Chains A and B, each alone.
Chain A
Amino acid sequence: DMKVTQMPRYLIKRMGENVLLECGQDMSHETMYWYRQDPGLGLQLIYISYDVDSNSEGDIPKGYRVSRKKREHFSLILDSAKTNQTSVYFCASSRGGGGAETLYFGSGTRLTVL
């Protein structure tokens, strides 16, 4: 079953707390992504990972970092979360080398930072 799984689905944190969003995929995809979605802005790329320990900044990396120690697992970390990081976060994966049509998305994590 081809699937991208995100945990948790909903999360509420206070400003200044650390946040860990987790993403897993069972397709052995090389490339994984973290996006955030805000009303009126569509999805914005935070980080992209081309494989284990091969991560690259996206368009809005500030305030975020990522970790990929296993191919099937990609984490997004917010150190000292800020209220403007309240958003819906999507993880996605694809086969290596592009093929945008084969991007698989998780169901999203709705993060609220109070």
Chain B
Amino acid sequence: AQRVTQVQPTGSSQWGEEVTLDCSYETSEYFYCIIWYRQLFSGEMVFLIYQTSFDTQNQRNGRYSVVFQKSLKSISLVISASQPEDSGTYFCALSEASSSFSKLVFGQGTSLSVVP
């Protein structure tokens, strides 16, 4: 069973628009972390932002922020003022305290295209 689910296989946006990418997950743990990565067309994985289950506020990192709905086990990545360079595949990943946060369980990814 998929523990991390990204139901949008693809997404698109126009230059300057705000983009929201969704992720849901399953965990029975109290302390966990959700991390977002972007995969470039070269295959390189780039860290974007993370949110822990203890964070009381939604995290922000530059143009990236998250909307964390803990009770729904849902987290969305929000990209403000999207640019063509933001195109790529976005992955969310779950990391849990029981594995000392050393194991990441990835979602299927959402392929985003930002057009001028």
Chain A contact residues, CB within 8 Å of chain B: 31, 35, 40-45, 48, 50, 58-59, 88, 90, 92, 94, 97-103, 105, 107-108
Structural contact, B50 and A103, CB atoms closer than 8 A: no
B95 adjacent to A107 (CB under 8 Å): no
The interface of chain B, by Cβ under 8 A from chain A, is 4, 6, 9, 33, 35, 42-45, 47, 50, 91, 93, 95, 99-109
Beyond A97-B101, A100-B104, 10 additional contacts (C-beta under 8 Å) are A35-B106, A40-B9, A45-B103, A50-B102, A58-B103, A88-B43, A90-B43, A94-B102, A98-B95, A105-B44
Complex Cα distance A103/B33, Å?
A: 13
Whether the pair A101, B47 counts as a contact (CB closer than 8 A) is yes
Question: Which A residues lie within 8 Å of B45 (CB)?
Answer: 90, 92, 103, 105
* Alpha-carbon distance A40/B9, docked complex (angstroms): 8
Q: How far is the CA of A108 from the CA of B45 in the complex (A)?
A: 10
User: Contacts A40-B9, A43-B91 known; A107 to B104 CB distance under 8 Å?
Assistant: no
> B residues within 8 A CB of A48?
102-103
- Choose among B35, B42, B50, B109 the residue with the greatest number of A CB atoms under 10 Å from its CB: B109
**Given A31, A43, A102, which contacts B106 in the complex, CB threshold below 8 Å?**
A43
- Contact (Cβ within 8 A) B43 A108: yes
Q: Nearest Cβ in chain B — how far from A15, in angstroms? A: 24
Tell me which residues across on chain B come within 8 A of A99, comparing CB atoms.
Answer: 101
- How long is the Cα–Cα vector from A43 to B9 in the complex, in angstroms? 14
Determine which residue in A44, A101, A103 has the highest number of CB atoms from chain B within 10 A of its CB, and name it.
A101
**Residues on A with beta carbons closer than 8 Å to the beta carbon of B99:** 98
